[in-house]
Structure 1
Amino acid sequence: MLYRCLVGAVLTLNLVVPAVALDSTEVAIRDAVNRGQEDALALLERAVNINSGTMNVDGVREVGRLFSQAFTDAGFATRWADGDSFGRGGHLIAERGTRGPKVLLIGHLDTVFAKDSSFQRFTRIDEHHAAGPGITDMKGGNVIILQAAKALASVGVLDELQLRVILTGDEESRGRPLEVANKELQAAADWADIALGFEDGDGDPETVVTARRSSSEWSLTVQGKPAHSSQIFRDDIGFGATLEAARILDAWRVALSAIPNLTFNPGLLMAGTDIEHDDENTRGSVFGKNNVIAQSAVVTGGMRAISPQQIDRAETLMRDIVADSLAQTSAQLSFNHGYPPMAPSAGNDDLLKQYSAISEELGYGPVIAVDPRRAGAADISFVASRVDGALDGLGLMGEGGHTVDEVADLRTLPQQTQRAAILLYRIALKSR
């Protein structure tokens, strides 16, 4: 990839020549990050080698203990928020500081790789790359949070900030009920001025995330009048459940597909005389005959939107289309909203400008906002509307996330840590 070539050109043990002079404290922060890379890589390997698939609650807790000790050693007060009440392992909270801007730093402990996955270990591929479950999504990001804080502490400026770190244990599969699973995260957001997320974004260090789309589910149930198929289209017989479902889906396609950053996807469709729908496991069974008009249909799917206003607009359009039923049919539509959107904002854009300027001064070049369609929902989605500014995608970069080909470009570990540490320092400076 192009960015790997660019990173390789500017990094030699991460001792870069900045395009614009950093101040003396920022130079010291950069150098402290470089000195900490051996410890950072060792912690990353240890974390990756602990399976912490979301439903492996013991593994999530073990990774939590590993990072809890690391943050305690760095001078943070840590505590564990147990996840029994929302069906998950729990969350790690680490706090430090009593003065200065309040900054929430977000990571997560869990991965998509189950306890019985074949992909279990950190493996060094070559000098610059390593593979492992969750190495970029997002144990590398957790390490960056810690190392950035340690670099600030080493030059005596960490206590000019109030930091709250939350490493969730259910980012890949959210616990329920949401209000319980998100209690610590949203309380921290209400406390904070700024939120920074350390996901890997789209894997490119030339981009960060200033906006994420929501993740919602919807369910459509349709009823028609069963009769012999030869009588379909009669006014008193109607069009049946299958054609009504098809009408609704195509009308949604026409109405919604032209709205920027809005998508909807029908993932499951069943129609026939008798339907058994196992909603929890997204499967079912259907009986129907070619000479009988379908009595029932069920369609389930997902929707993603860039703002609450866009969600409201889409819901209104979808419900209006559902209500315009074909003869002798009826339909009901319901929504289950999971992750809210991280909507664009002036505060987010301001953080991006600061971050990009830091990147250029470090010699890494400018950073731009990633297309929201390339950034899925994440923990920061639950907090972005509650803070003055939010930025995500600050973690360890690579490719193949959520697959057994997940590989990190280790050259971006010090790079991303330097950028984050100096951003935190400048946030502190602005409050003086």
Structure 2
Amino acid sequence: MTKYTKFQPWLDWLDQRYDETLDRLKSWSAINSGTGNIEGLDRMRAEILTAFAELDAQTREIDLPDTEAVAPDGSIAPVRYGKVLHFSKRPQAPVRVLLCIHYDTVFAIDSPFQTPRLIDENTLNGPGVADAKGGILTILNALSALERSPFANGIGWDVILNPDEETGSIGSAAILAEQARAADFGMLYEPALEDGTLAGARKGSGNFSIRIKGRAAHAGREFHAGRSAMVAASDCVMRLDGLNGKVGKATFNIGKIDGGGPVNVVPDTAVVRFNVRVSNHDERHQAEDEIAKVIMAINTRDGITAELHGRFGRAPKPMAGKTLALFEWVRELGHDLDLDIAWKATGGCCDGNNLAEAGLPNIDTLGLRGGLIHSDQEFVKLDSLIERARLSALILMKAGAGDLPDALKKTEI
């Protein structure tokens, strides 16, 4: 690391943060902050506010408006969210960076997976340890190192921690887009793979529900008078599944069918829920056209009505232009930290998709090394607690020292 001797004292300072960071990660993992657990999100947010107080930043808690979702019975139900946390410092600095990650998890309040445990001396298993409470702590440590360095005045930063990423960031999308337009580049803290590989290009994603209404009737006395919403839903599912392989590389995944009831009643309500992943904007538009055709076909069934809800919440994120330039710059920095920064395309998506759609080049897997997320086997590698904070701190200090490549600056045309 001879190239970075002027940054070395603040990179080395991070070593003393290991024990405190591990203790916080264990404590935070034990707080259930599933997206729908508003009380748990409130507890998690209070812990974050306490931890981030050392940064002496302007702090806001932002209420999100309720949205709507299709309930299992086909009705439209309100959806509540937790609050967004926004930390900001030096907005008038010559370079601005946006750091983001979510503080919600996929684990519901009644999930049996609630407690972290050490698998071995270098592996911690627990809800959210990788996705993404470890990422929040990486942000905190990196910014703490920056703020102690003489390079802080050259860079302004905003941190957005949202409570709804695991369900598509529907409530917080507008805030993410607003902050993205003010920054030069973005750093997101989803977990890296266990070997440190980052996510490169990402597919876009849309979540949809189709409400289907039929006509109820007694299955014995008046079976032929009924119009089964479940049968129509089955037709709908087969039509959607049949789109796989016909719209480029787009995938159509049927996740769930709600509806029906007693077997002696022709069911009059069903809900088909599905996800679509697309590689590019052309596939997205084609997929939307094909879904519309499916809705039209179901509506031609006698006595049946079908109504589409949902949308594409994540645009595709290509590995090109300024985003590619950012990856290449970070890879160079990684080499001098003895880190081999590699990346690969993924079908997954995150808020990095949202920032890219708003025009912000970003790397979205700067969090801890880990894996098996969204399962009770989720883990992080503890030797990445400081390793990844050092990488982010170096990125921030280099940018603050005036070393951000000109191609990444917002003033560049």
Q: Could you say which TM-score interval applies, normalised by the shorter chain?
A: 0.7 to 0.9
What's the counterpart of residue 330 of structure 2?
355
What's the counterpart of residue 314 of structure 2?
340
- Quote how far apart the aligned CAs of 1:90 are: 0.8
SS at structure 2 position matched to 1:151? helix
Q: 1:250/1:413 Cα in 2 relative to 1: closer, same or farther (>3 Å)? A: same
SS at structure 2 position matched to 1:359? helix
Structure (1 or 2) with the larger CA radius of gyration: 1
What's the counterpart of residue 189 of structure 2?
198
1:197-346 correspondence to structure 2 within 5 Å: 197-219=188-210, 221=212, 253=241, 255-257=243-245, 259-268=247-256, 282-285=258-261, 299-320=272-293, 332=306, 334-337=308-311, 339-344=313-318, 345-346=320-321
What's the counterpart of residue 273 of structure 1?
none
1:369-384 correspondence to structure 2 within 5 Å: 369=344, 371-373=345-347, 375=348, 377-384=349-356
Q: 1:331/1:25 Cα in 2 relative to 1: closer, same or farther (>3 Å)? A: farther
What's the counterpart of residue 189 of structure 1?
180
C-alpha contact 1:266 1:300 (8 A) present in aligned 2: yes
**Pairing partner for 1:44 from 3, 25, 50:** 25
TM-score computed with the length of structure 1 as normaliser? 0.75
C-alpha contact 1:210 1:349 (8 A) present in aligned 2: no
**Pairing partner for 2:360 from 365, 388, 408:** 388
What's the counterpart of residue 6 of structure 1?
none
Q: Which runs of 4+ in 1 moved over 6 A?
A: 240-248, 294-298, 324-331
Q: Does 1:91 align with 2:64?
A: no
- Quote how far apart the aligned CAs of 1:154 are: 2.3
SS at structure 1 position matched to 2:253? strand
- Quote how far apart the aligned CAs of 1:41 are: 2.0
C-alpha contact 1:200 1:395 (8 A) present in aligned 2: yes
- Quote how far apart the aligned CAs of 1:172 are: 2.3
Q: What is the rounded CA distance, in whole Å, between the counterparts of 2:173 and 2:330 in structure 1?
A: 28
Q: Does 1:425 align with 2:397?
A: yes
Per-residue Cα deviation, 1:105-148 (whole angstroms, up to 9, x for no partner): 11122222333433333323322111222111110000001111
C-alpha contact 1:358 1:422 (8 A) present in aligned 2: yes
Question: Which stretch shifts more, 327-336 or 78-87?
Answer: 327-336
> Which runs of 5 or more residues in structure 2 are unaligned?
68-79, 218-227, 407-413
**Pairing partner for 2:35 from 51, 54, 58:** 54
Q: What is the rounded CA distance, in whole Å, between the counterparts of 1:185 and 1:142 in structure 2?
A: 16
> Which runs of 5 or more residues in structure 1 are unaligned?
1-17, 227-239, 270-281
What's the counterpart of residue 76 of structure 1?
57
What's the counterpart of residue 67 of structure 1?
48
Q: 1:288/1:202 Cα in 2 relative to 1: closer, same or farther (>3 Å)? A: farther
Q: 1:95/1:408 Cα in 2 relative to 1: closer, same or farther (>3 Å)? A: same
Per-residue Cα deviation, 1:150-201 (whole angstroms, up to 9, x for no partner): 11222221231111101112222357xx35x434323212222222210115
C-alpha contact 1:210 1:348 (8 A) present in aligned 2: no
Residue-pair matches, total = 380
What's the counterpart of residue 411 of structure 2?
none
SS at structure 2 position matched to 1:214? strand
Identity of aligned residues (%): 23
What's the counterpart of residue 388 of structure 2?
416
Q: 1:405/1:315 Cα in 2 relative to 1: closer, same or farther (>3 Å)? A: same
- Quote how far apart the aligned CAs of 1:410 are: 0.6
Q: What is the rounded CA distance, in whole Å, between the counterparts of 1:283 and 1:219 in structure 2?
A: 12
1:353 maps to amino acid: E
